[in-house]
Amino acid sequence: MSRHSKNNTANPVFTYAERKMIKDFGTQNSRVGSDSQRPFDFCYLCISRVIEPLTCEKGHLFCRECIIQNMVKQKQENEKLIAAYNQKKQQQEHKQQQQDEAQQKEKEQNFEKLDYQNDVIERRQFKSKVEEKLQGYINLEAEQKKKVLEKMQLKGKEMLTMSKKDLTCKNFWVPESQPEQQEEKLEQPKNICRCPANRDHEIKLKKLYPTKLNDNNGETKEVFCYACNKTLKYQKIAMSKNCGHVMCMSCISRICLPDKKCMVCNIDFDKKDIIQIQEAHSGFASHNQVEVKIFNPVMLI
């Protein structure tokens, strides 16, 4: 074994021992402790032990007071959004009415202008005919004068028929030819309350179900299953909408579902009445993985 074989600085790559010595090299694994985990019986709003728990249809657990205050606040915000929407809608309607009146007035002015232009054109045509007859009698460069008069007449007609917009469309520096600002499309806000834990579904007070936890009347910090009396922590946990007794999902499927009755209160329920309560999550991510990985890329020269 040669000298410096363990830490050989002459090699172009790191050895296994050198990689172990470097802390920030490659993929680093770390296990998250229980202090960093949110227990399933903690409220999603106050992050503390639930008091008079209520569960939504997606299995999110809240304190009764917390969720009611949150719903009241959402209702107040919705009322403000609806009031702002109605105000903007009235402004748009008033603006649209003004534009319609301006267009109607412009149409009337164009109609009057068109009548005047037709009279002017007829007079010019009559005048040109008289001049052509005179030029027919007077043979002094009749053909050239006629061409010049025709060009002038065509040019006059074009100038009369061209609108202001056609005249200014090529002049990009004119303020009137600048593109108009597009108005935002108004969307009417929905007067609904969304679940604060995961805002992808609607919640109502009548669809928040009372939840009964087996914690020995608050004497213990742990919650136990009503069937097997095991501590409920990271396993799949469920309850029935009809009674609210919280048990393991395995106990419900083995004991309650065959009889379609709760083993605690004997209230009937079906498979569709079961709500799976969300498991414990970490404090920084909405999943129950307890191992964290991070990869630090290192360029080897």
Give residue 75's pLDDT.
Answer: 92
Helices and strands (H, E) in the chain, number of each type: 6, 12
| DSSP letters for 235-275 | S-EEEETTT-BEEEHHHIIIIIHHHTB-TTT--B--GGGEE
Q: Are 282 and 30 in contact (CB under 8 A)?
A: no
What is residue 110's predicted lDDT score, i.e. its pLDDT? 74
**Percentage of the chain lying above the pLDDT 90 cut:** 10
Q: pLDDT category, 42, cuts 50, 70, 90?
A: confident
> What is the reported pLDDT for 77?
92
In this prediction, residue 284 carries a pLDDT of 47
The CB density around residue 252, as the number of other CB atoms within 10 Å, is 26
Interval 245-296: pLDDT, tens: 988 888 888 888 888 888 888 888 888 888 888 876 654 444 555 666 766 6
Residue 243 carries which side chain, given as an amino acid letter? C
Highest mean pLDDT among 105-109, 135-139, 174-178: 105-109
What pTM, to 2 d.p., does this model score? 0.59
Residue corresponding to tokens 């009057």: 112
Q: Choose the weakest-confidence range: 103-117, 170-184, 215-229.
A: 170-184
Of residues 291 and 89, more confidently modeled: 89
